[in-house]
Every structure is written in C-alpha cells, then in structure tokens.
Amino acid sequence: MTKLIVILLSAVFINNYVLSRFLGICPFLGVSKKLDSATGMSLAVIFVMLIATAVTYPIQFYLLTPNNLEYLQTIVFILVIAALVQLVEIILKRYMPSLHKSLGVYLPLITTNCAVLGVTILNVQDYPVNETTSFLWGFTQSMVNSLGSGLGFFLAMVMFSGVRSTIEGSDVPKNFKGLPITLIAAAITSLSFLGFGGVIENLFA
Amino acid sequence: MSEILMAVIPVVIIGVICAAVLVVASKLMAVKEDKRFPAVRECLPGANCGACGYAGCDGYAKALCESGDVPSNLCIPGGDAVAAQLSEVLGVEFADTIEQVAVVHCSGDCGRTQDKVDYSGIESCAAAKMMYGGKGSCTYGCLGFGDCQSACPQGAICIENGLARVSTPKCIGCGLCAKACPNHLISLVDDVERVVIACSNKDKGASTRKVCSVGCIGCKKCERVCPNGAIKVTDNIAVIDYKKCGNCPDFGVCAKNCTTGCIVLTDLSGMHRMK
C-alpha cells in the first residue's frame, strides 16, 4: 500500500510529466490560457491515460512479449489508443452528452498526445511482469502511476493557467509579450518542481 | 519473409478488430441528428453572443429544430435577414426582429470629470472598480479601461478621452459589452429610439455636480416637460420609459431642456438600419 502511495505522489510531484519529464508540452502551452479549458483538457487526459494503460498493459504482456514482438510496441500502442479514444467518444456522445460536450475537442486531440503514449510505455518499462512481480501487481502499479501522471498533468495545467492569467494582467515588456514570457514562466514553474526531488521517498522511509 | 509477416499480421489483426469494434459501436450508438440542424446553423451568424438567450448559436439552432414554438426572430446580431432565412428553412411565419444597439449611460470624459487618485494597477475596469470604486471622482461613471472594448466582437466600442463610445453603425446588439461593464453603464436600446440619458449617477444633485459637469442632478425638469410622461426621476437619476417615448411631436424636448445636458439626442441606427 505504501508503495502505491509513493508511486502516486511521485508521479504527481517528482516525475511530473509536464514539468519534469517535458512530455505533453503542446497542450500545456496551447490550452492553458483559460482555467476552464485547462480543466477540461486535463480531465480528458486523466481519463484517457487510465483507459490507455488498462488496455496497453495486457497487450504488452499477453501479446507482444510472449511473441517477441516488443519492437512493435509504439505502433500497436498508438493504434490501440486512437481506436479506444474514438470508441470512448462514441459512447460518451450517446450516453453522456454533457460530459462529451465539456471534454469537447480535447478528447480526439489527445489520442496521440505524447504524454499519453509516454505513460503507457514507461508503465511497461517501470512495472514489468517478471519472476518477482505478478501481472495483477504490475497492472495495479501501472494504473496508480497513470492516475498520478494524469493528476500531475492536471496540477501543472491548472497552476500554469493561473500563472498565465497573472501574466495577462501585468505589464510585460513589449518584446517579451505573448509566447516568450509564457516560455519563461513555464521554465520557472518547472524549476519550482525540482524542489520536490527526494521528498516523497523520504516521507515514507 | 516470415519475420516481416510476423510483424505485419498482428498489427493488421489489431487494426481490423479496432475498426470492426468502431463500426459496430458507431452503428449501435448513433445519435440522431435533426436533418434541418446544419441548415439552421448555417443561417445563424456564429457570433455565439448569447443575445438570443441560448448557449451560443448551436444552442439556438438546436432549440429551433427541437421545438416548434421557439421564435425565429431571437437573433439580434442577424437581424431581419437571418430571421427571414430561418423562417424559410423551418417553414414558420416570419416575424420582424427588433434590432438593438448598445448605449453608454455616461458622458463623463476627461474634460468633464476628474480623477481622484493616480491609479497604476491592472489595466481593467473590473480591477479598477475593486479599488474604492475606480480612479474617477464619480464612482458611477465610465472607468475608461475598455473592458467593453475588449468584449466587443465587432470592434464597435472605443475609449475616447477616457470614455467608452459605441459606434452604432458597427454595433450588432449582442450585449456582451453590457455584461462586461462593472458599473452596468451599458444597456441595449431599440435602434429606433433617439433620446438617451447619458448618466448613471444616483447621488444627490449637489454631490453629482461636484464630480461631473454633465451628471444628472435629478432636477425633474425633463419629467415636467415630457408630454408623454415617459421620463421619471428615481434615485436622483432620470430614466426613460421607451414604451411611452417616441411619439413626441416636438422630438427631443427633454434633451433641449435638460439643465446639465445629460439627456442626449442621437441617432441610434445600428448596422441593420444602415444596410
């Protein structure tokens, strides 16, 4: 149980996908302008990360590894994730129109988001099924890690949309207006997450 | 050769399975869309201003398709042209749209009123309003940072000399500026009207006079001269009841008789009338 909490918290704070691993930067810069769109996007990412892991993890260890097809990992994962997101979109549109509307364009946008693909591949790498780990235990760890990664993305997006609205209202030098000041702010935000390094492991040591 | 096949076959199989699942799902869970919806949506201007009372143009189009008793003349930016198109597509009776334009109920520019503080905070009316009601000496008046200007989708508002001015030929009457103004100075008025009270100060006459040379001092002269009884002074500010106004033979008698000049005679013809 402690292990799972450590995985969750370190996925959120230490190995934050956006701010420490630099994956998923394009939605981070593109959709963080307003709080509500940032929230919508992040919720969609959490959701897709979870279902993507739930599907790709079994594929890896029941299909690819036994047949020595690990080199097909990337293409199979992208294919499966894309199809899955489409399926989820169809289901949401039919049964949960309001949720479908609030997730909006973000759901199809993140089908091949690098953060989503990154989570699935890193899960397979970091929590593999081997002599010491059963499939179920590896799968649980992966799911917790995906949830943490999604929450970390959420945290980064919400924090950064706050930073950006502050920038919008402040008097920025003319040649820093727009993207330059956004990138500088992103760098400083990312720097602040360095401070979490080592904290979580030592909390439960 | 078999190496290649070993790679291709699983991917193809996975692809086919995914495709089959998607086809079945999209057939089973297809959402019925009204066939008229795209046509109706096409008629609407797409400004998503919400003046019709629905959530954007999509919302209004959906409401029009789903229920027969939603009037087709609710789109104010579109005006008569859109209402006529909608009536044709839906096969309902055409009704004239009442076009509206935005009007600023303040005329306190830099020459007529003064700043009471030197404000150097965030350049927005909403923020300035939170600092003791703004930088101007009149707390009811235009703050002059242009929240309405940035809300306007048509670029019809500009800040001149510290006061918001609506260029009515460009105004589509969506009312986004009225929602943006923290002092609620902007209202929508039917574009046939001619007289506007250009003040919103609710203080007593003497204190209004101190802060602005064109503020309404509540002298009730307009109330007395109006032949239709359309103007009433309530809370020290004159208010025109547009339902009663307009058929005055000596048009603009109130504006001519106003002591401070806060009743303005103007042409409110919006973009629809200009066409």
Q: Which of A76, A84, A91 is closest, CB to CB, to B29?
A: A91
Rounded CA separation A36/A104 (Å): 12
- Same domain flag for B41 and B59: yes
Q: Which of A76, A87, A95 is closest, CB to CB, to B14?
A: A76
B10 in contact with A, Cβ within 8 Å: yes
The pTM of the full predicted model, rounded to 2 decimals, is 0.60
pLDDT (0 to 100) of residue B20: 93
Rounded CA separation B148/A69 (Å): 61
- Same domain flag for B86 and B145: no
- Same domain flag for B127 and B217: yes
Interface test with B, best of A68, A74, A77, A94 (most B CBs within 10 A): A94
Residue indicated by tokens 């965030």: B122
Rounded CA separation A129/A63 (Å): 13
- Same domain flag for B124 and B228: yes
- In A, minimum Cα distance to B126 occurs at A169
- In A, minimum Cα distance to B122 occurs at A169
pLDDT (0 to 100) of residue A147: 95
- Same domain flag for B159 and B82: no
- Same domain flag for B124 and B80: no
Chain A residues touching B123 at Cβ < 8 A: 169, 171
- Give per-residue burial for B166-176: e unless 16+ CB within 10 Å, then b: bebeebbbbbb
Task: Take residue A199 and report the two structure tokens written for it.
Answer: 């904290």
pLDDT (0 to 100) of residue B19: 92
Beta-strand runs (E) in chain B: 100-104, 157-160, 163-166, 186-190, 195-197, 231-234, 237-240, 263-265
B83 Cα to chain A: minimum distance (Å): 27
Q: Which domain holds residue B77?
A: 36-90
Task: State the amino acid at position A153 in one-letter form.
Answer: F
CATH code, domain carrying B84: 1.10.15
pLDDT (0 to 100) of residue A43: 84
- Same domain flag for B146 and B244: yes
Q: Which of A69, A84, A94 is closest, CB to CB, to B29?
A: A94
The overall average pLDDT reported for chain A is 86
The DSSP symbol for A178 reads T
CATH code, domain carrying B207: 3.30.70.20
Q: What is the mean pLDDT of residues A76-85?
A: 89
Cβ distance A67 to B10 less than 8 Å, yes or no, reads: yes
Q: What confidence tier does B272 reach under pLDDT thresholds 50, 70, 90?
A: low
pLDDT at residue B273 is higher than 60 = no
Considering the domain boundaries, does residue B115 fall inside one? yes
Considering the domain boundaries, does residue B185 fall inside one? yes
pLDDT at residue B270 is higher than 70 = no
Considering the domain boundaries, does residue B30 fall inside one? no
pLDDT at residue B275 is higher than 70 = no
- Same domain flag for B83 and B212: no
A168 Cα to chain B: minimum distance (Å): 10
Q: What is the mean pLDDT of residues B171-187?
A: 89
- Per residue in B87-140, pLDDT (tens digit) is 888 777 777 777 788 899 998 888 888 888 888 888 889 988 888 888 888 889
Chain A residues touching B15 at Cβ < 8 A: 79
Among B124, B98, B119, CA closest to B190: B98
- Per residue in B137-150, pLDDT (tens digit) is 888 989 989 899 98
Considering the domain boundaries, does residue B222 fall inside one? yes
- Same domain flag for B173 and B52: no
Considering the domain boundaries, does residue B177 fall inside one? yes
* Of the listed ranges A165-169, A200-204, B25-29, the one predicted with least confidence: A200-204
Considering the domain boundaries, does residue B215 fall inside one? yes
In angstroms, the first-to-last Cα distance of chain B is 72
Q: How many residues does chain B have?
A: 275
Chain A residues touching B127 at Cβ < 8 A: 169
Among B76, B69, B73, CA closest to B88: B73
φ/ψ of B101, rounded to 5, equals: -130, 155
- Per residue in A15-71, pLDDT (tens digit) is 888 888 888 888 888 888 888 878 878 888 888 899 999 999 999 998 888 888 888
- Same domain flag for B196 and B108: yes
Q: Which of B15, B31, B122 is closest, CB to CB, to A93?
A: B31
- In B, minimum Cα distance to A84 occurs at B18
Coil/strand/helix, residue B104: strand
Rounded CA separation A106/A31 (Å): 9
φ/ψ of B49, rounded to 5, equals: -85, -25
- In A, minimum Cα distance to B5 occurs at A69
Considering the domain boundaries, does residue B3 fall inside one? no
Q: What is the mean pLDDT of residues B213-235?
A: 87
Rounded CA separation A63/A76 (Å): 11
Domain boundary among B22, B57, B90: B90
Structural domains in chain B (count): 2
- Indicate the burial class of B112 (C-beta count within 10 angstroms; 0-12, 13-18, 19 or more): buried
- Same domain flag for B132 and B47: no
B123 Cα to chain A: minimum distance (Å): 7
Considering the domain boundaries, does residue B169 fall inside one? yes
- Per residue in A139-179, pLDDT (tens digit) is 999 999 999 999 999 999 999 999 998 888 888 888 988 88
HSE, CB side, 13 Å, CA atoms: give it for residue B191.
25
CB B274 within 8 A of CB B169: yes
Number of neighbours of residue B231 by Cβ within 10 angstroms: 22
Domain boundary among B45, B69, B90: B90
Asked whether the CA dihedral A20, A23, A24, A26 is positive or negative, the reply is positive
Cβ distance B10 to A76 less than 8 Å, yes or no, reads: yes
- Same domain flag for B173 and B243: yes
CB B16 within 8 A of CB B143: no
pLDDT (0 to 100) of residue B271: 63
Chain B residues touching A76 at Cβ < 8 A: 10-11, 14
- Per residue in B188-202, pLDDT (tens digit) is 888 778 788 899 988
- In B, minimum Cα distance to A168 occurs at B122
